[in-house]
Amino acid sequence: MEMINIKINGMPFSVEKNTTILEACKQFGIKIPTLCFLKDINEIGACRMCVCEVKGARSLVAACVYPIDREGTEIFTNTKKVQESRKTTLELILSNHDRKCLSCPRSGSCELQEMCADFGIDNENRFEGARPHYENDESTLYLVRNNNKCVLCRRCVAACKEQFVGVIGANNRGFDTEIGCAFEQKLADVACVSCGQCTAVCPTGALVEKDDTDKVFDAINDPDKIVIVHTAPAIRATLGECFGMPIGSNVKGKMVTALKRLGFDKVFDTDFGADLTIMEEANEFIGRVKNGGVLPMITSCSPGWIKFCEHYYPDLLPNLSSCKSPQQMTGAIIKSYYAEKENIDPDNIVVVSVMPCTAKKFEIKRDDQGRNGLADIDISITTRELAKMIKSAGIQFTELPDSEFDPTLGVTTGAAAIFGATGGVMEAALRTAADTLTGEDLKEIEYPDVRGTKGIKEAEYDVAGLKVKVAVASGLKNAAEILDKVRSGEADYQFIEIMCCPGGCVNGGGQPIQPAQVRNFTDLKALRAKALYDEDKNLPLRKSHESPVVKKLYEEYLGEPGSHKAHELLHTTYVARKKY
Ligand code: SF4
Ligand code: SF4
Ligand code: SF4
């Protein structure tokens, strides 16, 4: 590593050669404003908010892409020229911007708003842009695009490309430039996979999830309805961020208390559905291996991944596990087994799921979910929407005491907890498959090779004499790499886990927004995943088949994994969709 000596604002520092000015300044505690820059994803130096002076350079340089490659480089981040340039850039952006902060869904978490406050820019502006009016695109079940608030930073375009989907881009030129789909198509009419990664990176209110919180409040306030909520494993590892808590705080107890105070009749844990998924999936995998079924089997709990497969790899649909996702399984059991046990008419039950993901809003409306005209899940909201509900109800989240899920469908195993991180489903399935095949209660239950935030992980295991080669991919670009190998016959895996979002559900498209200033310099995925692996380590039950709730369900209702009744309730089908 070659180090060079530089000066920033007259102070001497030593940095690794070719570090960008942005990274060097971060190392030395100097914040440079950025708008378009997203590390490794959108490094285009286009917005000009990060400009700095470099002694000897003819013009201002973009700090995000300028490599420091000369000994003695002198950088100035805060001169009058720099300040005026940044202010002018902001004023020009605002001149063409819908400035209705008071009614904007991102007010309070908007990077543009924060920058304007930092630079003292308000609605009075030297410039007046054309400000064309755009109709919102509300065509999908999961996103709203409001181009009146778009700053053309193209982060969403880069995030979508990174997902190997690329259905959005810049249309037209000059003041008429707008981000959207080709040929002015609506998002619902193109092969968007509903992942929501574009919403997680948008700095403004131009791209947000569809807000279903009013529907939830309406249900809670309906005296004829029993409203049951269940929360995905990844929510407890991220919800605290919406209330200023450190990234990676596990707020399970406070979250359950908040849900009770919001007025839900029952608070269940989607971890129950995750354990059930493992029971069915492990059984399906063993069946495929023993009976010459289609291999490799690929996990099916990530609905963004499922939609991607349906649009872009329909020839591999037979490889998908037929298991519904934990969200859907939990809903199906609430409206059948639980309703029968409690003698409740399932028509009077409203099931709300809290998910890390906008794709879940699409999944709940799929034709192949639900039974006898009854949806498994009625409303699906994201982590961000739950935080909004808690705030609007005046609940002081950080001051809440802990409480427990309802034990009827609320026992958490370690296997289910790690579902929220890439590799977690694979590890959970291996724990159960290994015990099932050996007939033993194995003590070695951790599979470090499939852990960690790498986009692709591979491992080979000997499970009771059976050689099992596995792959784990998160993020659809990585998934595509694995799938191309499967398609060409080059891969010899038996079991593949795919998660739509990079890092898995902890980094889902519905998770708390972290501004680029945090995102670019923090490993969000690793910090959030750690909360789940720590939970796994500390739980008394760490294998899905040990869950007393799951055991009871099979004894009293389903019979055994893969039974006729289990298939009716817990399994599904898929459909090929058009690519363009
Ligand atoms: S996007 Fe930001 S600056 Fe624009 S209206 Fe919304 S909160 Fe205000
Ligand atoms: S939801 Fe995902 S696939 Fe759809 S536009 Fe956004 S990033 Fe692209
Ligand atoms: S929609 Fe958001 S992320 Fe996309 S270009 Fe506009 S402001 Fe940037």
**What domains sit in the chain, N to C, each tagged with a CATH number?**
3-93 (3.10.20.740), 117-208 (3.30.70.20), 214-570 (3.40.50.1780)
Q: Which ligand is nearest to the CA of 145?
A: 3
Pocket test for ligand 1, best of 93, 96, 99, 202 (most atoms within 8 A of CB): 99
Strands 297-298 and 349-355 turn out to be unpaired
As a 3-state breakdown, the chain gives helix, strand, coil percent values, each rounded to 5, of 45, 15, 40
- Say how many Å lie between the CA of residue 131 and the centre of ligand 2: 26
Q: Percent of the chain, pLDDT > 90?
A: 92
Q: How far is the CA of 474 from the centre of ligand 2 (A)?
A: 15
Predicted confidence (pLDDT) per residue in 28-87, tens digit = 999 999 999 999 999 999 999 999 999 999 999 999 999 999 999 999 999 999 999 999
**Can you tell me which atom of ligand 1 is nearest the CA of 107?**
7
Largest CA distance in the chain: 79
Place 198 in a pLDDT band, splitting at 50, 70 and 90: very high
What is residue 372's predicted lDDT score, i.e. its pLDDT? 84
CA of 168 to the centre of ligand 2 (A): 8
Q: How many residues does the chain have?
A: 580
Sign for the pseudo-dihedral over CA of 409, 415, 418, 422: negative
Q: What is the pTM of this model?
A: 0.96
Proximal ligand: closest to the CA of 201: 3
With 90 as the cut, is the pLDDT of residue 132 above it?
A: no
From the CA atom positions of the chain, what is the Rg in Å?
25
Confidence grade of residue 170 (pLDDT, cut at 50, 70, 90): very high
Q: How distant, in Å, are the alpha carbons of 132, 143, 149, 332 from that of 204?
A: 18, 14, 7, 37
Q: Going by CA atoms, what residue is nearest to atom 6 of ligand 3?
A: 150
Q: Is the pLDDT of residue 561 over 90?
A: yes
| Ligand 3 pocket residues where CB is under 6 Å | 150-156, 179, 201-204, 206-207
CA 170 to centroid of ligand 2, rounded, Å = 14
Best probe residue, ligand 3, of 38, 156, 201 (max atoms within 8 Å of C-beta): 156
pLDDT of residue 173: 84
CA angle 551, 233, 302 (to 5 degrees): 95
Closest ligand 2 atom to residue 194 Cα is: 1
Q: pLDDT class for 579, splitting at 50, 70, 90? A: confident
H or E element that contains 304: helix 303-312
pLDDT given at position 122: 82
Distance (angstroms) between ligand 2 centre and the Cα of 509 equals 9
Of 175-179, 376-380, 520-524, 551-555, the range with the lowest mean pLDDT is 175-179
pLDDT at residue 261 greater than cutoff 90: yes
Decide: 117 in ligand 1 pocket, CB within 6 A.
Answer: no
Beta-bridge partner residues of 440: none
Distance (Å, rounded) from C-alpha 56 to C-alpha 64?
A: 19
- Name the one residue in this structure whose structure tokens are 């809440």: 400
Q: Ligand 2: does its nearest atom lie under 6 Å from the Cβ of 179?
A: no
Q: Which of 16, 66, 75 is nearest to 37 (CA)?
A: 66
Distance 180 CA to ligand 3 centre (A): 10
For ligand 3, atom 4: residue with the closest CA? 156
Residue of minimum CA distance from atom 8 in ligand 3: 153
Confidence of residue 124 (pLDDT cuts 50, 70, 90): confident
Q: Which residues contact 198 (CB under 8 A, 6 or more apart)?
A: 143, 155, 156, 159, 160, 168, 207, 509
User: Cβ distance 83 to 53 under 8 Å?
Assistant: no
What gap in Å lies between CA 562 and CA 541, rounded to an integer?
23
Q: Place 176 in a pLDDT band, splitting at 50, 70 and 90.
A: confident
**What is the pLDDT averaged over residues 349-367?**
97
**Residue 505 dihedral angles phi and psi, to the nearest 5°:** -65, -25
pLDDT digits (tens, 9 = 90+) for 86-107: 999 999 999 989 999 999 999 9
192 lines ligand 2 (CB under 6 A): yes
Give the Cα separation of 532 and 265 in Å (integer). 26
- For residue 297, the Cα-to-chain-centroid distance in whole angstroms is 23
Contact call for residues 156 and 170 (beta carbons, < 8 A): no
Residue 441 in 3-state DSSP? Answer: coil
Q: Measured from the CB, is residue 195 less than 6 Å from ligand 2? A: yes
Mean pLDDT, the chain, rounded, equals 95
Does ligand 1 lie within 6 Å of residue 380's CB atom?
A: no
Q: What is the DSSP letter of 76?
A: E
Residue 160 has a pLDDT of 98
Pair 187, 167: CB distance under 8 Å = yes
Question: 179: burial class by Cβ within 10 Å (0-12, 13-18, 19+)?
Answer: buried
| Residue 547 clears pLDDT 80, i.e. is over it | yes
Span from the CA of 197 to the centroid of ligand 2 (angstroms): 6
Of the bound ligands, which one is closest to the alpha carbon of residue 202? 3
Tell me, what's the pLDDT at 489? 93
* Alpha-carbon span 301 to 560, nearest angstrom: 20
Give residue 257 CA to ligand 2 midpoint distance, Å: 33
- Using DSSP's 3-state secondary structure scheme, residue 529 falls into helix
For residues 303 and 262, give the distance between their C-alpha atoms in angstroms, rounded to a whole number. 28
Which of 434-456 are b and which e, b meaning 16 or more Cβ less than 10 Å from the residue's Cβ? bbbbeeeeeeebbbebbbebebe
